[in-house]
Amino acid sequence: MKRLILTACLLAPSLVIHAAGKPAKPRAEIGSTAPAGKPYAYKTSAGKPRQMEIYFPPNHDPAKARVPGMILFHGGAWGGGSLGQFRIACAYFASRGIVCATSEYQMLSAADAKKLPAGETRKRVCVTDAKSAIRWFKQKAPELGIDPQRIITGGGSAGGHISALATLNPGLNDPADPKDIDTSVVAYLWFNPAFALDDNKDPEIDVLRYLKKDLPPAIAFFGDQDTWKAGWDIAYAKLKTLGSNSIDLQMAPGQAHSFFNKDPWQTVTLIAADRFLMKHGLLTGEPTKTMPATGEKLSPAQP
């Protein structure tokens, strides 16, 4: 089946505050593009096949290899975006020895979202499909040559939020998913995850309710000018209260939302993510990307 490969992606919005104190409408941004990975349909939801693109390491032999797997979810304010956002990242981590996937998911239109029962948001369907994608990825481990016990997930903005709920919330499961496959992971890559301050209005998509002391290790990237960071700060503070020391928070000075999607910061964050995975035994060897000559650097958050 022919697929339309989208070469531009809508990232999750920057939250701009007007003088009146009200958030502006989401702002669409264009992300980087790269060649598409091998396409797979991991499920059908709302009558539409849901696509995943997978990138394999050079000379990867699934019959012999059992390497870590990674699955990343694009941003787009839970209503837009495309697989283009993480193609460069997937191609890079595949070159480093990880079978890496980027996955789409069901998104409701604004009109459909208005039809939902009171107390439900359109974010729920995104999480349900993300859980299905992780389960499919694990189920196909022998075919893909991955170790289902060494799965990494994450995403950008809304995709970061979706990846967190897909692995932490025990609910929002698709009844058609295999019940014997869980969605647990061993690490997270979170690129300015969008934990909204008003998510508490719908308990199923409120990350704060599901945070735990033994959260798998995670690296999170934020620009210090990102107005979405307010929701993250609350989650980060709660993790500290729980006694968790699993978060490596890296700050980009002078940067706003979605800064990671373009060079030089795209390269900077990928190198930092690479070193994070090395630290936790999920990669070996040194990063093959080079830090930009212009001198951009991340700063670790103060404890």
pLDDT at 154: 98
Which run of H or E residues covers position 146? strand 146-156
CATH architecture of 38-300: 3-Layer(aba) Sandwich (3.40)
Q: How far is Cα 148 from Cα 134, in angstroms, rounded to an integer?
A: 10
Mean pLDDT of the chain: 89
Q: What is the DSSP letter of 18?
A: P
- Beta-sheet pairing, 218-223 with 247-252: parallel
Alpha helix segments (H runs only) across 57-99 = 87-95
- In which residue are the tokens 């058609």 written? 176
pLDDT at 28: 33
pTM of the model: 0.88
pLDDT digits (tens, 9 = 90+) for 100-120: 999 999 999 989 989 999 888
192: number of Cβ within 10 Å: 30
pLDDT at 303: 60
Task: With beta carbons less than 8 A apart as the criterion, state whether 296 and 265 touch.
Answer: yes
CA dist 264 → 143, 259, 260, 261 (Å): 36, 9, 8, 9
Nearest to 102 by CA among 89, 117, 120, 116: 89
**Cβ-based burial of 57 (10 A; exposed 0-12, middle 13-18, buried ≥19):** middle
Any bridge partners for residue 229, and if so which? Answer: none
Task: With beta carbons less than 8 A apart as the criterion, state whether 123 and 41 touch.
Answer: no
Enumerate the domain spans of the chain: 38-300
Task: With beta carbons less than 8 A apart as the criterion, state whether 296 and 270 touch.
Answer: no
